[in-house]
Structure 1
Amino acid sequence: MTKLNQIKSFKDWQEAFDEVKRAVDEYHNKFREELEKMKKIDETKQYKFNEIIRMLEDSELPKGTILTSELYPNSYPLIVEEALYCDTLFNKSGDSPELSSRLIRNSWTIKLPKEDKYYLKAPESFGSGYLNRNVITNNYTIFTKSETKLCKTKFTQSEIDAMPFDTSFFKKIKVEDE
């Protein structure tokens, strides 16, 4: 491949572009494989307390996750928070819950915290469009900010961090609740 500062013709530019595109596609394929391996948390499922503890130990529950008991949904929520070197559970008073048979025996529902979403606006030199990701091919383009079933334009911070390219030149615009 020619060095970017040595591109003198359209053919050199096309070769450089194709090589970058191959690298991005390879990264996307690896990323998709990793996502498939990850276990999704089903917010409609009832979990046993030992499953909650395993997820807590494996750092699968993000800070701010709320756990509610099926028998006491309004009076006994637990919240995942950071404590010293690990995540732990607290009740709504901010205390660690007392370990009791009621705590262990009940089934629990997990409510994950809502992540903020952002548009990524391209600089003027790119035509002032927004970053779009095709949900089928996972290819990125610059276009409008209108999201469709096939085109994603709103991204969480974790999705932005996982993008296979430097996103620092995009302007991050918070999506207002719709």
Structure 2
Amino acid sequence: MSSISRRAEPPSEPPSPDPTVHLHWAGLRELLAQMDDDIAHLYQDRGIEDLRPRFTKPLIKLARGGPMTIRALAEAIGGTHSATSQTVAAMRSAGYVRSTRGTDARTREVVLTEKAAALVPFLEEEWRATEAAVAELDAEVPYPMTQVVADLQRALAHRSFADRVAARLS
């Protein structure tokens, strides 16, 4: 049983003709976007104009793991090949990575540039500071997000999200 108290359901309203008007977790998306924006501002305050928060984990993984194919990098960061490829393209445009020939003629590997390598110690420090700040926030609320996530994972292990959506489709 979760330690999270249940809220009363809001009174039901007639459905809008546009189903995208209602987004149950809009507040969570907005919160995460605001936190990412805060990190981006932190970078800008330190004179790093072209660094995006989504670059941080791949840059650290490349610094620690060496050159990687996009597939290997996607696995290292827990992302999809497509999203990682888009991130690598953006990092390449910003001058943080370049591509080199891999172990055979068919593969290409992503390599840090000197510009990125110089930032890695700061990025690792920022990562640790961000994790500490998130843990601090988690401890300040009566229903920590880590508990919410664990409870949701448990519920989805019992019945998948796909099954829940499919049951509501005609």
| TM-based fold match above 0.5 | no
TM-score (norm 1): 0.23
**Which of these two proteins has the greater Rg computed from alpha carbons?**
1
Higher strand share: 1
Higher helix share: 2
